[in-house]
Chain A
Amino acid sequence: MSAASGENEVEDVHVYRFTEETAPDQVLNEAGERVGELPENAADLALQWYPFMVFCRKFDERAQLLQRQGRLGTYAPFRGQEAAQIGSFAALRPDDWIFPSYRELAGMMYHGLEPWHALLKSRGHPNAGHMPEGLNMAPAQIAIAAQVLHAVGAGWACKLQGTDRVSVAYFGDGATSEGDFHEGMNFASVMQLPVVFFCQNNQYAISVPVKRQTASPTIAQKAIAYGMEGLRVDGNDVFAVYQAMRYAVDRARRGDGPTLIEAVTYRLGPHTTADDPTRYRDAADVEAWAHRRDPLVRLRAWLTRQGLWDDARQAACEAEAEARVRRAVEEMESCPNKPLEEAVLHVYAETPESLASQLGARRKGAT
């Protein structure tokens, strides 16, 4: 009888398994009612955040339209994820290090990237990556999860430099399948670096649902294997995101090491303007997230319940957001294009002779 026949199964082993799918932490439920602990100055924060979320939503919708009109190139919409981004960026300081992916424009604009500048990447403009002086924010990363390791390196620098700065990696659910995610989580935890791994689980990596990325019930629990703390929050609840991020940032500043945050959210738009999500997502799936669980709807409901918001304020807020988007588009479109020399200038600190001679040959109309 072979040992593999099932007659004689091994039972006396210690199995490590974590199968719990905990509900994400909430401060506001989907009706906008308080179910958790609000930050102290919740009303002030909400009155600052909500109009910015409205602006971001208009910005995002407009950018997608501009692509359809041929005025922008490929654009990756973020709508549905405004709370996850603004709530987390709001817990950071200007001198913290931030390494975003390409779907973080709402957070990046909240942090200080001018809206016209935020459009330059889709414009294909070479200055898109020249981030504002005074902010330690990298430009949007295109390779999935590559920026996770940069954030770990910058966090290592913060520790070596003896500062209380923290470093944050922003990425999506798909990125957790990449080796860079594993190496970064492991490295940061072994070295006890001041890093926050902020995952927006927006349910899809282009067309592939999160169940196809991981057999773990949650992304947050991946922290456990690295000896790290993991948090799981409702990413469409801006207060819950903010509280989770404050918790992780405070730990990092104190020298208590890295934290993984999973913000459970949903990408309401396509992956990019080059994608048709109706090929892989049911309308009912989108519908479930589009209204009742929309982060803007939830925060507005809370503000209204507090007596801080009404239809008149909403109308004024929307008008102002639209005007701001209009100005951003005008400024982006009036940004002058650059000559080919621009591509040569920033490859090395000093342009090598071989490269300069290639450019010289172009000028003379040779090869």
Chain B
Amino acid sequence: MPKMTMIEAIRDALAIALREDPRVVVFGEDVGRNGGVFRATDGLQAEFGEARVADTPLAEKAIVGTAVGLAMAGMKPVAEIQFLGFAYEAMDQIAAQLARIRFRTQGRFTAPAVIRAPYGGGVRTPELHSDSLEALFAHTPGLVVATPSRPYDAKGLLLAAIHAQDPVIFLEPIRLYRAFREEVPSDAYDVPLGRAAVRREGSDVTLIAWGPTVTVAESAADQVSARGIDCEVLDLRTLAPLDRSAIQASVEKTGRAVIVHEAVRCAGLGAEIAATIMELAFYHLRAPIERVTGLDTPYPPPALEDAWLPSVTRVVEAIERVMED
């Protein structure tokens, strides 16, 4: 079985999708000849042609808006927004259009497009290249929001997104694109949308993370295990719709929860998860829920981002707080 980085796994998924379904079209800024600024589409235009792997004008609204029209007309668009921060440019087309075609037409038309976007911090980018905006999309009924934390999931989740009947916002953690390799089957496979994965089983604290913070949570779990604290790490993988039963099952077991996300805290997905735990598992809680998040500021310049981002140390401190008394 080949070992792949996440970016290689994503490219592999796109190649499979282009091969298996003639309706699939891959497009965005610099995805054609250049193979994408992160090389997610490297070589795909040479293999599948300019019609199916297309460079578009520099226009985020048009990238999403044409994806809506393509999908309504029976194609399977897989569009790329070059960095998630530029999805702001396309918010009407994402939230008011893409998400609502099925609802607006009562199922007469659907728009099962996939919008891929690199996101997340820690890689010293200019402004608007590192923002974590998942809560905006999770707050928008009609969208599926998925984010992998490892190469195997990146391939399977992306193929599941392309096979889905609903529009999917597919968020790719930039920091993990080349962070590590793991074995990834060469064949096609789906990692089901809507299902969280337990990365590490434990009995004392549930660490809930997704995308770039999963490895942070895993490192924190490693650190505290030496002191006899047994953490469960839950990788949500799909952020909308939330896998509420996985959250419930884990917190009922551990009685403690620490939620880790890069996005700003206020009205972040951590708040929704905390409320879900209150609704479904309140009587199992032994300590208040902790959130380890970004600050309520715009994403900071590179010189400040290490201090701003959730770190292993801050997650360890949060674990210690929920383990007090």
**A residues bordering B, Cβ < 8 Å?**
97, 99, 126-127, 129-131, 133, 136, 138-139, 143, 146, 148-158, 160-161, 167, 179-180, 183-184, 186-187, 190-191, 342-343, 345-349, 352-355, 357
Contact = CB atoms under 8 A, between A and B. Distances in A.
B57 A186 contact: yes
Contacts of B253: none
The 10 A-B pairs with the shortest beta carbon distances in the complex, nearest first, are A153-B69, A149-B65, A352-B241, A153-B66, A157-B73, A349-B165, A183-B62, A150-B69, A154-B69, A130-B106
Contacts of B71: 153
Nearest to A140: B104
Nearest to B73: A157
A131 B109 contact: yes
B102 A156 contact: no
Given A158-B73, A186-B59, A150 B97 contact: yes
Nearest to B74: A157
A120 to B, nearest CB: 11
Contacts of B241: 348, 352-355
A138 B72 contact: yes
A163 B290 CA distance: 56
B73 A187 contact: no
B62 A187 contact: yes
Contacts of B64: 149
B96 A151 contact: no
Q: Which of B73, B105, B106, B166 has the most CB of A within 10 A?
A: B73
A136 B109 CA distance: 9
Contact of B103 (A131, A151, A347): A347
Contact of B97 (A136, A146, A348): A146
Contact of B65 (A157, A184, A342, A348): A184
Nearest to A342: B106
Contacts of A156: 66, 69-70, 75
Contact of B96 (A146, A155, A345): A146
A187 B105 contact: no
Contacts of B106: 126-127, 129-130, 342, 345-346
B68 A149 contact: yes
A130 B105 contact: yes
B162 to A, nearest CB: 14
Nearest to A151: B69
B69 A155 contact: yes
B317 interface: no
Contact of B93 (A136, A149, A160, A348): A149
A187 B54 CA distance: 12
Q: Which of B57, B67, B70 has the most CB of A within 10 A?
A: B70
Chain A: interface secondary structure?
helix
Interface in B60-99: 61-62, 64-75, 77, 92-93, 96-97
Interface residues of B, number: 46
22 contacts: A99-B69, A129-B104, A150-B65, A150-B66, A150-B72, A152-B62, A152-B65, A153-B66, A153-B70, A154-B69, A157-B70, A180-B61, A180-B92, A183-B57, A186-B62, A190-B57, A346-B102, A348-B142, A349-B110, A352-B194, A353-B241, A354-B244
B108 interface: yes
Nearest to B27: A156
A133 B66 CA distance: 22
Given A150-B65, A342-B106, 9 more contacts: A138-B105, A143-B96, A149-B68, A151-B69, A161-B73, A167-B73, A183-B57, A187-B57, A357-B244
Given A146-B96, A156-B66, A161 B74 contact: yes
Interface of B: 25, 51-52, 54, 56-57, 59, 61-62, 64-75, 77, 92-93, 96-97, 102-110, 141-142, 144, 164-166, 194, 241-242, 244-245
Q: Which of B25, B52, B66 has the most CB of A within 10 A?
A: B66
B108 A130 contact: yes
B59 A143 contact: no
A155 B103 CA distance: 23
Nearest to B109: A138
B289 to A, nearest CB: 18
Nearest to B54: A191
Contacts of A138: 72, 105, 109
A187 B245 CA distance: 44
B65 A146 contact: yes
A345 B59 CA distance: 33
B62 A347 contact: no
A352 B242 CA distance: 9
B92 A143 contact: yes
A152 B66 contact: yes
Nearest to A152: B66
Given A160-B75, A347-B141, A153 B103 contact: no
A157 B69 CA distance: 8
A139 B144 CA distance: 23
A255 to B, nearest CB: 13
A16 to B, nearest CB: 20
A346 B59 contact: no
A186 B165 CA distance: 30
A347 B100 CA distance: 7
A179 B70 contact: no
Contacts of A129: 104-106, 108
A66 B76 CA distance: 42
B25 A160 contact: yes
B109 to A, nearest CB: 7
Contacts of B65: 146, 148-150, 152-153, 180, 183-184
Given A153-B66, A183-B61, A146 B92 contact: yes
B108 A187 contact: no
Contacts of A187: 56-57, 59, 62, 66
Nearest to A163: B73
